[in-house]
Amino acid sequence: MKLAFHLAYKNLMGAGLRTWLNAGVLSFAFVVIIFYNALIDGWNQQAKIDGINWQYGYGHLVNDNYDAYDAFSIKDGHGELPESKQKNLTPILIQQGNLYPNGRMMSILIKGIDPNQGILLLPTQLLNDSKAEIPVIIGKRMSESAKVKTGDEFLLRWRDKNGTYDAATVTVAGVFETNVPFVDSRQIWMSIDKLRKLTLLHNKTTYFVANEQYKYESAPGWRFEDQEYLMREQTRLINAKKVGGSIFYVLLMTLSLLAIFDTQVLSIFRRQKEIGTYIALGMTRWQVVRIFTAEGAMYSVFATVLGAIYGIPLMWYLSITGISFGADGGEMGVIISETLYPVYGMGLIFGTILLVILSATIVSFLPARKIARMNPVEALKGKIS
């Protein structure tokens, strides 16, 4: 085997530009595969971190009557939980309402939360700091949509538990910026005590956000949804993107491997006398097959080295500066920041290297099999049947 690799190396170096063209094409596919998957992994990690920090916490204890995907369930989707079971939980109450900023009407969700909570990154402390009668905080998307800013006042209308409409003037105590559209778009946040008072829903809660120390205890009328369940839609989207991206780099790999396959076929055709000489000198046919297979495998080694030369500086730079797409995840209903940072795991890198080497080796072996059926006398004459 050592002899096979030695001869394969000499032959590839002697081929000159053809060798480096094949290695260059294969290295491009190699770098693209790593970069695309690293970018998706970076998006996945960023989405999970932001989702946990801003929305999910360490799980939700949800009232059985509430369904986040059914707006009609908001009316009756709340209940009471004994205080003894509220340890390490932050209550959130959701109600529907309408805003009237600058003479316009907007249908929104009113969310009440404990201003002293420390689980989510929502700047709820601003609700305590404000001297307004009904202070609220809103996200940047909501601020831009309603065209209001910190200190502005507008009319809020809601229904209490009896179905009676009521209205009051609320004041924007602060505007926060987040990548999570589910705590921002078309919704406002106020003190849960204030919202309970306005809607007459005393001690009622739609769901609780758990912190890291929370241990689930069964409670009638309530269900627990863990982080994995809450982030299932985001996970499905990420997996779908990976599948879609795989089609792209399969095409790249196919083109690269096709170039190696064609090169090996041409090489075997042009080097018939060399093959016959090897056999005449005492090599078995399968030893010669190993030489040509090793040549194809070495293309992948050269591609790995070549890809590392230009790929490492490029990927290192992108991992620091990130890639800005200028997209707003709120418009698509997904958690995504304007700048994504690729994450290069060792499993991804070595897995891709192994994939490239195995693929190149198999593609090189396929045409080399013909050598095993050669007649050495005809090969020395330059004739292959």
Winning range, highest mean pLDDT, from 36-50, 255-269, 274-288, 361-375: 36-50
In angstroms, rounded to a whole number, what is the distance separating the alpha carbons of residues 251 and 330? 32
Query: What pLDDT is stored for residue 328 in this prediction?
Result: 59
The CA-based angle 94-100-104, given to 5 degrees, is 125
Read off the pLDDT of residues 103-140 as tens digits, 9 standing for 90 and up: 789 999 999 999 999 899 999 999 999 999 999 999 99
Per-residue burial over 327-344, b = 16 or more CB atoms within 10 Å of its CB, e = otherwise: ebbbeeebbbbeebbbbb
Query: What pLDDT is stored for residue 4 in this prediction?
Result: 60
Closest CA to 229 of 57, 346, 83: 57
> Can you tell me the mean pLDDT for 203-219?
92
Coil, strand, or helix at residue 138? strand
Query: Is the predicted pLDDT of residue 171 greater than 90, yes or no?
Result: yes
Strand 106-113 to 187-191 pairing: parallel
Task: State what percent of residues in the chain have pLDDT above 70.
Answer: 84
In angstroms, rounded to a whole number, what is the distance separating the alpha carbons of residues 368 and 300? 17
Q: Is the pTM above the cut of 0.85?
A: no
In angstroms, rounded to a whole number, what is the distance separating the alpha carbons of residues 67 and 81? 18
> Can you tell me the mean pLDDT for 255-283?
70
* Domain boundaries along the sequence of the chain: 2-52+233-380, 60-225
List of residues 6+ apart from 99 with CB closer than 8 A: 105, 106, 108, 146, 154, 155, 156, 188
Read off the pLDDT of residues 293-324 as tens digits, 9 standing for 90 and up: 777 778 788 888 888 899 899 989 988 888 88
Query: What pLDDT is stored for residue 317 in this prediction?
Result: 92
In angstroms, rounded to a whole number, what is the distance separating the alpha carbons of residues 21 and 9? 16
Whose structure tokens read 């070495």?
298
In which band, very low, low, confident or very high, does the pLDDT at 268 lie, cut at 50, 70 and 90? Answer: low
